[in-house]
Structure 1
Amino acid sequence: MASLLTIKTLAICLFPVLISANATSTGYIPLGASCYDSITPVTVTSANYPWIAPKWSDNYGLIDFVSLASSRLDAGFPQPIGPPVNETASYEIAGTFCTPKKPGKNAKTVLLATHGLAFDRRQVHKTFFNPVPLKPRQQHITPSHNPQTRLSGFTNQLNIQTPILISLARSLLNGSLPLPPTPPHFGPPNALILLGHSFGSFLSNSALAADPTIASAAILTSYGLNGLDARLVLEGISPRIARVQDASKFADFDPGYVTTSDVFANINSFFKAPAYEHDVAAFSEANKQPFAISELVSLTPELLRLDARAFKGPTLVISGEYDHVVCGGYCPGELDASFKDKFADLETYVQPSAGHGINFATNTTAFFAKIGGFLEDKGF
């Protein structure tokens, strides 16, 4: 899920977690920003987990997989993925790069943002939110989908996306990321900050664990480890094959791409009463996007490499009080326990009353104010 930002003095680079091509306009441009779509080619080598379970072609097969995958751990059912295989491949990453129209002193601080599963890079529409300005000092890029080059939903996973994020960060740091000719080439930033939401937080953490030199700071939202139960998440979203659910939108996605079954499954995963409005939940459901089943499977705890203590920059971890996805429904006390041995310079914050989709909560302005305060305090 993309975070909502008002561009005033920073630059923001927002990349989605889905690997694909075809730059499509985000539709909503943050206030005070100039935004440009871009496509960046990358070639990376990654240790990928191959899908070895049967690949379904209809929702009956998907639900049978969900039934087995959400069974108790000692049931002994076979894993859907095999041992990792080293693979080298090329990808095209489409994104949106936003710069402040009136640059401030921190205009060359860049936020490299990655969103979570079930949503894309588009900003939450201003019809619903008018957040406290963050004094954005960043820029913003996000990729979208191309049916001819999109990875299979049985292949797309965290292990592929981690070196891609590292490659994008390196290109930003050395000024080689191809940016639009207007405004002038941005050049190397003064500081690069990783900003993740949900799966994007796992991705940012994974990238920092693999290469602690790619960022000056990290902001990881809707994130937690100790309370994460993939079986609970899988049952909670009640997945359906995306192209079966809405062929008018998702016909070009293979059956490995799934989405929430309806607005109530969406609410169950991302919202918590009374801190949300029904029309916002309906907006969220109407604008949801498919995600790869292998992305979710790649979050299996024993597969994750998240020890980023070699990264010495400040890290802020934020989750909603009643986050169903990463805290099992209740986050107080979970974040410090989850990350005290993952980051050298850690700050945690629990947003009262909110669910997993913090930027959809009625008190979301406090969430953005916390991020803005963190950036200010750390000199960004």
Structure 2
Amino acid sequence: MALSTLLSLLALLPAALAIKPRCFEFDHPVHVSLTVPTFNVPKFSNSYESTAFLTASVSRNANLSSLVTGEVKIDRAFKIHFQYCEPEKCTRAPDVLQVLSHGVGFDRSYWNFGDSEYNYIASTTGHGYATLSYDRLGVGFSEQADPYSEIQVPTQVAILAEVSKLLQHGKLHKRISKPKKLVHVGHSFGSLITNGLVAASPSLSDGVVLTGFSQNTSWTPLFELCLGFELARTNNPARFHGYDSGYLTWGNEYDNQCAFYTYPFFDTHVLKQAERIKAPFAISELLSFASVPLAAPNFTGPVLMLSGQSDLPFCGGDCTGVLEGPASVSPFVFPSAQPFVSYIQPNTGHALNLHYNASAAYEVIHGFLKEHVH
């Protein structure tokens, strides 16, 4: 049976009965040393200024590369918050560990959102895998670094690389055994980081799953217009009062819907909950989108790229012909992947895990990894 046919059949099957995962959380300092670009962006005093910056940055004459004024060295450790999970009745460490990187607007809870229908970690541990999710730098319980300079795509890639090295040597945490195989799973911005990881350090991963993503970023201005650039600390003072002005967020649940969801294929209660727990994003993350190479000619592991049919930021609202076919650039990014497979999840927007049929997408991922990562 062809792999594409198998994946299509898997998408129609009900999710495997989720076994309650056994989890623990911890903090770990992650030291990175790298050079990142500096941006000529005056610190925002209020949301009028940040919104004006958004308007200017998506205008037809915008030239974001002109904002780069030089570069600066980062050589320090950042506190990163992790959650490790494995099957509840696991008698030995699972052979395969999945490292989960979330996207903009979320923290690590994106991977274990609510009940089993939207809980990727429960579904994954139910299939016998271990998972390591984490709050990206600047998000959740991880360190709030400088959102105008330190929190950039290259920094996030460097953090993921160092974490992967520690895992490969069994040195991230005494309760996490050295895995036989390390798989990296990303969503959106987390997929960008994951792609950047294997482009720079292909030996750090045995398999890659990129969700809510393509290498075509020409539609990201649409996404940014939905998000808006409100100062997080004024949008939600109760939660974000201590955040620097470089941490931004969107206005309300309808902006959230515009960026992440496709109506009517989601539960509005899920949207409301996602709005209640939304995470801010750093201005320098968005400005550094093109700061890391994505071409990964030396990565020979399996790659699955899976996005929702109506993904806005990476497909312009329709992934047909973007993830597959002559217009797809992914095969050129991963020319040596064995194999490279793309899959479009129907009736789904950008927030893949938070639509009605999320569990069907999980089964596609599990089927792909069962076949190609042993």
TM-score (norm 2): 0.86
CA RMSD of aligned residues (A): 2.3
Higher helix share: 2
* Residue 139, structure 1, aligned to residue 131, structure 2: yes
State the 1:133 CA deviation. 3.7
Per-residue deviation, 1:87: 2.5
In structure 2, what is the equivalent of residue 339 of structure 1?
A: 330
Amino acid at match of 1:120: D
What residue in structure 2 maps to residue 151 of structure 1? 145
User: CA 1:171 to 1:120, structure 2 compared with 1: closer, same or farther past 3 Å?
Assistant: same
What displacement does 1:236 show?
Answer: 1.7
State the distance in 2 between where 1:120 and 1:229 align: 23
Partner of 2:38: helix, strand, or coil?
A: coil
Rounded to whole Å, the distance in 2 between the matches of 1:261 and 1:84 is 32
Which residue is 1:378 aligned to?
Answer: 372
Matches within 5 A, 1:99-138: 99-103=86-90, 107-122=94-109, 123-126=112-115, 129=118, 133-134=123-124, 135-138=127-130
- CA separation of 1:233/1:79 partners in 2, compared to 1, >3 Å: closer, same or farther? farther
Other structure's SS at 1:328 match: coil
Q: Which of 129, 154, 172 is residue 167 of structure 2 equivalent to? A: 172
2:262 partner SS = coil
Contact 1:227 1:328 in 2 (8 A): no
CA shift for structure 1 position 140: 2.3
Tell me, in whole angstroms, the C-alpha distance in 1 between the residues paired with 2:218 and 2:359.
26
Contact 1:7 1:136 in 2 (8 A): no
Contact conserved, 1:222 with 1:320, CA < 8 A, in 2?
A: yes
Aligned-partner Cα distance in 2 for 1:286–1:111 = 27
- For the structure 1 residues 70 and 136, does the alpha-carbon distance in structure 2 shift closer, same or farther, using more than 3 Å as the test? farther
Q: Which amino acid aligns with 2:287?
A: V
Asked if structure 2 preserves the Cα contact closer than 8 Å seen for 1:320 and 1:356, the reply is yes
Cα 1:125/1:240, change in 2 over 3 Å: same
Contact 1:227 1:334 in 2 (8 A): no
CA deviations over 1:54-99 (Å, ceiling 9, x no partner): 1111001101101111111x45577333233333121111111112
Distance 2:119 2:113 in 1: 10
Secondary structure of the residue aligned to 1:282 is helix
Separation in 2 of the partners of 1:340 and 1:127? 33
- Alpha-carbon distance change, 145 to 7 in structure 1, aligned in 2, over 3 angstroms: farther
Decide which of 188, 200, 204 is 2:194's aligned counterpart. 204
1:251 partner amino acid: H
Q: Answer whether contact 1:175 1:187 (CA < 8 A) is retained.
A: yes
Structure 1 counterpart of 2:347 = 353
Amino acid aligned to 1:158: V
Instruction: Write out aligned runs for 1:24-63 (5 A).
Output: 31-63=19-51
- Cα 1:146–1:80 change in 2 (3 A) is farther
The 1:96/1:77 distance shift into structure 2, 3 A limit, reads closer
Structure 1: runs of 5+ lacking an equivalent = 1-5, 9-29, 180-184
Secondary structure of the residue aligned to 1:213 is: helix
How many pairs are equivalent? 345
> CA separation of 1:104/1:274 partners in 2, compared to 1, >3 Å: closer, same or farther?
farther
State which drifts further: 224-233 or 85-94.
224-233
Runs of 5+ unmatched residues, structure 2: 1-14
Partner residue of 2:204 out of 194, 198, 214: 214
Taking a change above 3 Å as real, the CA distance of residues 60 and 313 of structure 1, as seen in their structure-2 partners, is same
Single out whichever of 314-323 and 124-133 deviates more from structure 2.
124-133
Change (3 A) 1:309 1:7: farther
- The alignment partner of 1:194 has SS state of strand
Asked if 2 retains the 8 angstrom alpha-carbon contact of 1:7 and 1:100, the reply is no
Distance 2:99 2:265 in 1: 28
Give the equivalent residue in structure 2 for 1:245: 235
Whether contact under 8 Å (1:37, 1:141) holds in the other structure is: no
Task: Give the aligned partner of residue 83 of structure 2.
Answer: 96
In structure 1, distance between residues paired with 2:62 and 2:217? 21
Structure 1 Cα separation of the partners of residues 16 and 157 of structure 2: 27
- Is 1:363 the counterpart of 2:351 in the alignment? no
> Which shifted more, 328-337 or 81-90?
81-90
Could you say if the C-alpha distance between residues 267 and 234 of structure 1 is closer, same or farther in structure 2, counting changes exceeding 3 Å?
same
CA contact (8 A) 2:80 2:141 kept: no
**Equivalences for 1:308-323 in 2 at 5 Å?**
308-323=296-311
> Where in structure 1 do 4 or more consecutive aligned residues deviate above 3 Å?
74-81, 127-134, 143-147
Question: How high is the sequence identity, in percent, across the aligned residues?
Answer: 28
Query: What's the CA shift for 1:342?
Result: 1.0
Change in 2 beyond 3 A, CA 1:58/1:211: same
**Greater CA deviation, 153-162 or 138-147?**
138-147
How far is 1:226 from its partner?
2.2
Distance 1:197 1:341 in 2: 20
